[in-house]
Chains A and B, each alone.
Chain A
Amino acid sequence: MTTQLAVVFRTFAFILAALLLCALIFAAVGLSATETLQGVIEGALFRPRALDHVLRWALPLLITSVGVVICFRAGFFNIGAQGQFYMGAIAAAFAAEALRGTSPLVAVPLCLAAGMAGGALWALWPALLRVRAGADEVITTMMGNFIAALALVHVTSGPLKDPSGSGQATSSRPIDAAHRISETTGTSPVILATAVLVVLLGWWLTRRTAFGILSGLAGRNPSMVAWQGARVESIAISAFLFSGGLAGLAGSIELLGPNGRLASGFLPTHGFTAILIGLVSSLSVLATVVVALFFGALASAALYLPIVAGLPAAAIEIINASIALFITARADAVRGVLSRWRSRWKT
């Protein structure tokens, strides 16, 4: 218990360090740091229907980050959540287009399944490259993000282009109104139930199954697990598939829910934020719930800042990036440095 408390304490200490860095950067470009942070807090917590806005951002992020946790626990840096998220949305959009006019009871599950399949397939090739050839997954999944973003541009300006749309902003036709699972504002019982289900299954998978235990061990010491006779290859590929599938599910939820249509370049920071959530929660599925709410609040504030406080939305990007910078820092390293400094002062 004390170690868990220490982890939480450490995490918050580094988030404080990150916020300090943000304040420095804001000051450097001539923004008032206190005003910005005040705007962030106001936008996140104290505006009308604040909780709805937070949940709208937190739930899809939560789903993607559970996938990230599963993959990172197995020791694979799947940075490609963004691309898998896009591919899921694309697959779901094709499914939604094909199922136009059918009953939502049929169409919605099929679209969500298509999204999961799309995301999982987009995670499969980096997994195979990693397992079969040994190509580093950090770069392959990163390149996958760029390729998926271009594929999204292609799909929205080609096969699924909205014929009535203007030439500039490319997007698909709005999906069948009956198939929408939430209003544009973003939350609904369906999305909430899906997220809860994903968290419970993710928890069960990582804590209560052979896959979860073995992948957690493989993440720390793959050769040991291989020597004990576990099939590391299939663990690796399943981890990638789970992770891609969940990112794809989040993509299809964004499509059927708040967005209602496929637009090129939508939610460009979703994947990176989801990875951050996974790391901040120390790769524990249950902790992602709390952390996703925190980052959901930041995301909801990002839209509020320019409207109300006249502050640029990039401020939130800065906050996220600084947290990424510090989040994996080790507390014992800090203690080591402090003691070294102290001993230097004594002598």
Chain B
Amino acid sequence: MEDLIVAFLRSGTPIVYVALAGVIAQRAGVWNLGLEGLMIVGACATIVTIRLTGSLPLALAVAVLLCCALSALLWFVVEILKANQIIAGLGITGLGLGGTALALTAIFGSEAAVNAPFGLPRIGPAFGAFGGLSVLVALMPVLVFGTWLVLCRTRFGLRLSACGEHPFAARAIGVSPTLMRLWALLLGAPFCALAGAELAAGSLQMFSVNMTSGRGFMGFAAVIFGAGHPVGAALAAFFFAFAGALGIRAQLLYGDRVPSALLLALPYLATVAGLWLSARLGRRSTASGPNELGRL
């Protein structure tokens, strides 16, 4: 039971982080489909920098900076050049996936997985079976609460949400939705970097090409399933992770009877079911996002 919970927390945390970034962006009126790309850049930057310099703070700083740069690029293309958010977001994802593969070949000579000598600090043996979890897992509830506090209880957060709900109203009180979306994306970027760092350095301490395998998109689906609320999105992310942990557990128990590839599909199926549910539950207005979210 305990190791099931550990596996569950371990697989859920990166999705929660990336979902928080998605919530911030969505509230400001940006469908951020670049989350997957930002996350893998965060993962790659963390491991590669640890490997090259041996410094964890530096690694996290590089990851955050790269994610901020990519987010700013997405903002420029979407808000200034008025490109379609979905396609531009997928472009960022492609840049992240391709760019990390390219970086590995350029630095290490091949696309093989890269190991780091150490990863994120663990919460320590005092916590028994949970001691192997990284500090980012322990920090996660704090950050979810903090995001809720900032988004729903501060002037800045409400203004940010106004930019997604009704940009004209925001503009009327002197808030520039364009600029606010930049802040929203830049605020989300560190969350993506942490999501990647947790995924790559939280327990595995290695990076391999395409290792995010859709977790960024799951985070995005968690935003929709969680109706754009930080706590809701975090719960939705854990729901997807639960399906994933269950799949891995079922593989160990029933692997000989049920094809393992189909059990691995469980988190994706859970995501689809989550989307279907949130659409069915009549949250159509939030499920399709704030009014201002653009389509082609």
Contact = CB atoms under 8 A, between A and B. Distances in A.
Give the interface size bracket for A toward B.
35 or more
Q: Which of B87, B92, B106 has the most chain A CB within a 10 Å cutoff? A: B87
Contacts of A333: 80-82
B94 A320 contact: yes
B214 interface: yes
Nearest to B280: A133
Interface stretch (B112-120, B130-138, B256-264): B256-264
Given A29-B102, A75-B296, A153-B261, A138 B86 contact: yes
A122 B192 CA distance: 31
A324 interface: yes
Secondary structure class of chain A's binding surface, majority of residues: helix
Which residue of A31, A142, A327 has the most chain B CB atoms within 10 A of its CB atom? A142
A164 to B, nearest CB: 21
B272 A143 contact: yes
A203 interface: no
B276 A129 contact: yes
Contacts of A143: 214, 217, 221, 268-269, 271-272
B9 interface: no
B296 A328 contact: yes
Interface in B25-40: 33
A188 interface: no
B187 interface: no
Contacts of B272: 129, 135, 139-140, 143-144
A314 B271 CA distance: 29
B190 to A, nearest CB: 21
A334 B268 contact: no
A327 B276 CA distance: 31
Nearest to B107: A29
Kindly list the 6 A-B residue pairs having the minimum CB-CB distance in the complex, ordered from nearest: A321-B94, A317-B98, A325-B91, A324-B91, A329-B81, A154-B261
Contacts of B105: 312, 314
Contacts of B288: 134, 136
Interface of B: 33, 73-74, 77, 80-84, 86-88, 90-95, 97-99, 101-103, 105-107, 111, 213-214, 217, 220-221, 224, 259, 261-262, 264-265, 268-269, 271-272, 275-276, 278-280, 284, 287-288, 295-296
* Secondary structure dominating the interface of B: helix
Contacts of B74: 325
A133 B80 CA distance: 34
A59 interface: no
Contacts of B261: 150-151, 153-154, 157-158
Given A147-B268, A150-B261, A325 B88 contact: yes
Given A135-B279, A312-B111, A318-B102, A327 B262 contact: no
Contacts of A72: 296
16 contacts: A26-B102, A72-B296, A135-B287, A140-B275, A143-B272, A146-B213, A151-B262, A153-B261, A157-B261, A158-B259, A158-B261, A312-B106, A318-B102, A321-B91, A334-B81, A337-B81
A275 B90 CA distance: 11
A150 B265 contact: yes
A195 interface: no
A154 B268 CA distance: 15
A82 to B, nearest CB: 12
Q: Which of B84, B94, B101, B214 has the most CB of A within 10 A?
A: B94
A315 interface: yes
A211 interface: no
A318 B261 CA distance: 29
Given A29-B106, A324-B88, A329-B77, A146 B214 contact: yes
A272 B81 contact: no
B102 A272 contact: no
Interface string A325-347: 11111100110010000000000
A317 B97 contact: yes
B268 A146 contact: yes
Nearest to B81: A329
Given A72-B296, A333-B81, A139 B99 contact: no
Contacts of A189: none
A87 interface: no
A314 B107 CA distance: 14
A279 B101 CA distance: 25
B35 to A, nearest CB: 12
Given A136-B275, A139-B275, A143-B271, A312 B82 contact: no
Interface string A71-91: 010010101000000000000
A318 B41 CA distance: 14
Contacts of B95: 25, 318, 321-322, 325
A259 B78 CA distance: 39
A344 B213 CA distance: 45
Contacts of A324: 87-88, 90-91, 94
Contacts of A135: 272, 275-276, 278-279, 287
A31 B214 CA distance: 28
A317 B87 contact: no
A323 B91 CA distance: 7
B52 to A, nearest CB: 13
A324 B89 CA distance: 9
Given A150-B264, A279-B87, A325-B88, A315 B220 contact: no
Contact of A133 (B94, B262, B276, B295): B276
Nearest to A72: B296
Contact of A139 (B73, B97, B221): B221
Contacts of A321: 91-95, 97-98
B8 to A, nearest CB: 20
